[in-house]
Structure 1
Amino acid sequence: MTEPAPHEAADALLADVLQATEPLERARARAPELTALLLRDQWLALLDRLPAPVPGWLVWRAAYGLHHLGHLRDAELVAERVDPASAPADLARIHAVRAAVAWNRGDQDAARRHADRATELDRIAAGAAQGVVDVALALLSAAEGDRDANQRYYDRARAWAERTGDDLTLERVLNNLSSRALEEGDPEAAVAAAIAGQQVNLRTGHQSGLALLRHNLAEALMTLGRLDEALTAANQARTFYVSAGSPNAGGSWQLAGDVQAVLGLATQAAASFRHAIEAAQVEGDAQTLVPSLAGLALVTAPREPAAATALLARIEREPIAVRSASVLTAAAWVHLCTGDPERARAQAELAVVESGKVNDLTRMAESLEILCLLDRTGADDPRLREADQLRRRIGDPIRIAIHRLVAAHLGADPVERRLAVAELRSHGVVADVGQIAGQLHAIGVGATTAPVRIHSLGRFAVLRDNQPVPVDEWPSRKAHEALRLIAAHGPAGLTRARLAELLWPGTREVSNRLSVALSHLRVTLDPTRTHPSNHFLRTSGGLLSLAPEHVEHDVDEFRQAARTALAEDDARTPPGDAEHARRVLAALETAASLYTGPFADGEDADWADDIREELARLARQVHRALAGRHLRQGAPDAAVPWLTRLLRADPYDEPDHLTLVGALRAAGRYGEARLAYRRYAERMDELGVPAQSWDAEPA
């Protein structure tokens, strides 16, 4: 059976405690379960039923639980309710939690004050809370840039937790070590720490701890280029946080946005970052707010430069302690994208320094690439070679491919450029990646030679000479809507009568209004009136349509590429014809890259539903064909991302679940296969369908 929802388990435990004759004694007896399961409302309800002041052994658990769930203000308020006569070890734990809360907010002075007080109290307690205090000191050391002290404190905390059997602290240390490994460019170590933490979590049952472990695992998978798996893990963490009412959902929204941005899903990334910003503002969580603001600036800068610049200005008002190298590089890309190279250079040079302080190899490489692009150097620039070495040391295949593109651009090597683009497509990166401020936007990947391009997959946009048409340039909203509708109906076209009905449903005598809207539309597409009136928008046989030789439309491109690739895949590859197999695989990957999001994403209109489902169904066919071709060619690892993407679209598809389990087993990834099988069994249980046994699964 599946686990109960977070609130159900918490409510049941709270009821058991409060219905006891002696609630405080009952709470002490079930203290580990309280820490593992209680959510904000239950913690506050429990403490409100107890007489003040509250004993320290319960307060530290409540404060720890609330902090771990992201309720920073509540954690502080609860900490202040403690009985000052509590045991020094309990008081030390409380101050350690308060230090972590201050760290989350970027308030280093308060964090140091509470950490010092925790150290004093632990000394009185003869080290009974040493590991907990060491975690707080490790966080503070990282904020102060002392990486050696950070590692030393974590090593001490881990040894103490293992010696004393404090699994809660051990789980937290492993979580934080996973984050540290990521910062230092060692994603394999980050995965190992996250997996070890999940093993400890089986003993603690700590729900928010498991969510954080999944979050860190997602970050590590993203760095390893396993983007679809990373997005799935991030969504699992977010699902818990959202259902638990936790502000930490903001961190998982931010991570999802980061993964979506690497995938090139600009519209989805922007939505995720906005969710993250909203959640972070509730608790004043600067550690989530600042990188989310930077991420939103990155994914919106090419189309909304003024808004992106305003986001950077907002970041400048946040505490300096949370403006990391990743934020500095984001600012550099935005300034480069919006035509301010001097500010871009200043941010990149500062990012080189800051990334060096914390050994952030990813941002160091990125900063060097920015400087090379600004200087327009050749491919033999030593900074570019150093960036290449850093990329390869980390081992992120996607960022290695992006670096190849940068080097090819600087070296004017078109063959290498095509190979690097193909490699990105093989990892599931979509065409919209060039519409995000960064390396690929800077070198013009995704640019088109067409004078007008319509973008309907994801957020609707119109590009004129590769520049987005601002909203304030549209003479009327109806002209904008008319273009969306005409583009959606493709080469088949749309009658004036049908267009009028869609624009003004149930309204008669709108012929003049329609003529005005179409006139406005033609002016927007050709503001200098250089071409005849039918150059972009033509009327033929009573049908309105876009002129395909002058207007590109991403929907038409995707449809054609997908149908062609699927037809080639259906023909199968003759035995021994490696060139045909390579060509079909490339065609499928190209088609997949052109599906950049749901059609008319966010559009609440009946006319869009059928087209949206048709295109989503076509995308699923392409993804399934890719998975199947990789499996037939004996490459189960390469099939896993496409199967993961399919299950993200439909988590109840039994054949896809079974194929994923089989692919993981065939790849020798048995631990992951077990987790995938458990998710499959849970989904089938939700449907009331018996799951096939593990032993029945093909290897």
Structure 2
Amino acid sequence: MIARVHLTRGSAWQATAAYREALAMAEPDGNAQVVAQAWAGLARACYADDPAEAARYAELSLTLPSAAGPVTGELAAGWVALCSGDTASAARYAADVRSEAGRRRDPAGLAEAMELAALAAYRGDAAAVPGRPAARRAAGLVEAAAVWADMGSEVALATNALLRARHAGDRLSEDVARQRLHRLGVCDDAWHIAGPLAAIGPPPVPEVAVQTLGHLAVLLSGTPVPPAGWQSRKARELVKVLAGQLGRPVTRTTLAALLWPQTPPEVANRRLSVLISTVRAVLDPARRHPANRFLVTDPSSVRLNTENVVLDTVRFHDAACAAIAADAAVEGSRDAAAGVDVVARLEVVVGMYTGDFGDDGELTGEWSERPRAAFAELHRDVIRTLARRCLRLDRCDAAAGWYLRLIGEDGYDESAHLGLIAALSAAGRHGEARRRYHDYAKRMHEIDVRPAPFSTT
């Protein structure tokens, strides 16, 4: 029914309306099967607004017979229980559904039961460390993924990929899966429907996040620190310098000389000590944590504690390196699906680069220019890798677009020019490829570089 489509796409309000309409039509006719399905759907759709009502609907769905047996109702009851924190009931429902779905040869019910069981175990032991129990949970999710793949259920498969990424702590894979769900038409309201996404919840909001790709922003539990909260421009500069070092320590002597170049060293060092206290007050205004929780200092150095501070520079750097390595790992492989997954990863990483490091111009000199150049070059490496992978997958127009982006940033990038010509030729756009070759040759002559001969391969 259409209500199920709305539920799958995460449209809770539309699903609720459709299920209520189905109830209004089925109850007078005594159609127990439709009524049971509608109550189960309502239990999941209305959970965020009224958990108690959702539990009541789930119980009602189990009182009526259905052609699918108790699978639909027990899954609804299991997800409502899990989202409400009742892991024991969720695990019990998962076991019952797994048995019943197996008996009825219901692969969708079986896969969902495996996910419910895995997440119930995960929620029931949130403090679990890597080991055999964690491996069993992961195995259940992997087994469910295989079932969804056999069924060709793209939304369920993308959801499962997100579950596995969260279980593994792989933020990049989680972002890729979330983007895939959006492309499949699943809206953000899906996180409020009793099901796997609501069970794991959205990504946790970090206590402290520092964004320096573009303009500086420091967020405390998701709330930006206002300009007046900084007390001094030097405090902002110190945070930027440390963010550019990806959590590596910087000596006190270096920081003092950088921030107060015309000041005697002993005076600059005293000012640095005061500035460190100022930054700590910005990052922890209520002073609820030990001094080194966010900003770590010792007698000789200072660094941001990347265990407790989320840096966009670190996220971008690590994700970019991982995506480029993933591309290298599938080089020469005939597995097209692996190449498509690499493209998705690279596209997510490109989106992480929200601007050049310290683009607001507050910090100048070597300590801003070096990281700015390094991050910008890594960003270009990601785009270049993405363009090449698209070309290998015969996504010629996409490859051409990425190469054009590289040329727009650096008109003398020879490899980007040659890649663009190859992409246009592969797409059958030979006239445009020839025109682009003339542009390339002109650029190379301007810098006294001999252009490569024109080639359509």
Structure 1 position 635, deviation (Å): 2.0
Of residues 236, 254, 270 in structure 2, which corresponds to 1:480? 236
Three-state SS of the structure 2 residue aligned to 1:552 is strand
1:513 maps to a residue whose letter is R
Whole-Å separation in 2 of the counterparts to 1:660 and 1:518: 49
Whole-Å separation in 2 of the counterparts to 1:591 and 1:604: 26
Q: 1:422 to 1:593 in 2, by over 3 A?
A: farther
Whole-Å separation in 1 of the counterparts to 2:255 and 2:46: 48
Structure 1 position 479, deviation (Å): 1.7
Count of residue pairs the alignment pairs up = 279
2:377 maps to a residue whose letter is R
> What pairs up with 1:288-687 in 2 under 5 angstroms?
377-378=13-14, 415=158, 419=177, 421-422=179-180, 449-508=205-264, 509=266, 510-540=268-298, 542-573=300-331, 575-601=333-359, 602=361, 603-670=363-430, 672-687=432-447
Whole-Å separation in 2 of the counterparts to 1:501 and 1:591: 35
2:329 maps to a residue whose letter is A
2:379 maps to a residue whose letter is A
Whole-Å separation in 2 of the counterparts to 1:520 and 1:659: 50
For residue 92 of structure 2, what is the aligned residue in structure 1? Answer: none
| 1:596-630 Cα distance to aligned partner (Å, 9 max, x none) | 22111134322111111111221121111111112
Whole-Å separation in 2 of the counterparts to 1:562 and 1:645: 18
Higher relative contact order (CA 8 A, sep 6+): 2
Q: Structure 1 length as normaliser, TM-score?
A: 0.36
Three-state SS of the structure 2 residue aligned to 1:490 is coil
Structure 1 position 655, deviation (Å): 2.7
Structure 1 position 448, deviation (Å): 5.7
Whole-Å separation in 2 of the counterparts to 1:644 and 1:423: 28
1:497 maps to a residue whose letter is T
| 1:489-540 Cα distance to aligned partner (Å, 9 max, x none) | 2222112221111110131122321121111111111111111111111124
| 1:385-419 Cα distance to aligned partner (Å, 9 max, x none) | xxxxxxxxxxxxxxxxxxxxxxxx99999956965
2:275 maps to a residue whose letter is A
Q: 1:481 to 1:467 in 2, by over 3 A?
A: same
Three-state SS of the structure 2 residue aligned to 1:596 is coil
Whole-Å separation in 1 of the counterparts to 2:426 and 2:179: 29
Whole-Å separation in 1 of the counterparts to 2:204 and 2:409: 30
Three-state SS of the structure 2 residue aligned to 1:459 is coil
Whole-Å separation in 1 of the counterparts to 2:335 and 2:16: 38
Give 5+ residue unaligned stretches, structure 1.
1-372, 383-408, 426-445
Q: 1:504 to 1:670 in 2, by over 3 A?
A: same
Q: 1:483 to 1:689 in 2, by over 3 A?
A: closer
2:333 maps to a residue whose letter is P
Q: 1:569 to 1:575 in 2, by over 3 A?
A: closer
For residue 198 of structure 1, what is the aligned residue in structure 2? Answer: none
Structure 1 position 580, deviation (Å): 3.1
Structure 1 position 376, deviation (Å): 8.6
| 1:285-304 Cα distance to aligned partner (Å, 9 max, x none) | xxxxxxxxxxxxxxxxxxxx
CA RMSD for the aligned pairs? Answer: 3.4
Structure 1 position 644, deviation (Å): 1.4
| 1:168-207 Cα distance to aligned partner (Å, 9 max, x none) | xxxxxxxxxxxxxxxxxxxxxxxxxxxxxxxxxxxxxxxx
Three-state SS of the structure 1 residue aligned to 2:247 is helix
Select the structure that is richer in helix.
1
Whole-Å separation in 2 of the counterparts to 1:641 and 1:541: 51
> What pairs up with 1:130-279 in 2 under 5 angstroms?
none
Structure 1 position 683, deviation (Å): 2.2
- 1:636, 1:663 within 8 Å by CA — same for their partners in 2? yes
Structure 1 position 665, deviation (Å): 2.1
Q: Percent identity?
A: 40
Q: Structure 2 length as normaliser, TM-score?
A: 0.54
- 1:447, 1:466 within 8 Å by CA — same for their partners in 2? no
Structure 1 position 646, deviation (Å): 1.4
Whole-Å separation in 2 of the counterparts to 1:472 and 1:541: 30
Whole-Å separation in 2 of the counterparts to 1:418 and 1:454: 22
Give 5+ residue unaligned stretches, structure 2.
1-9, 19-44, 49-154, 160-174, 184-201
2:223 maps to a residue whose letter is Q
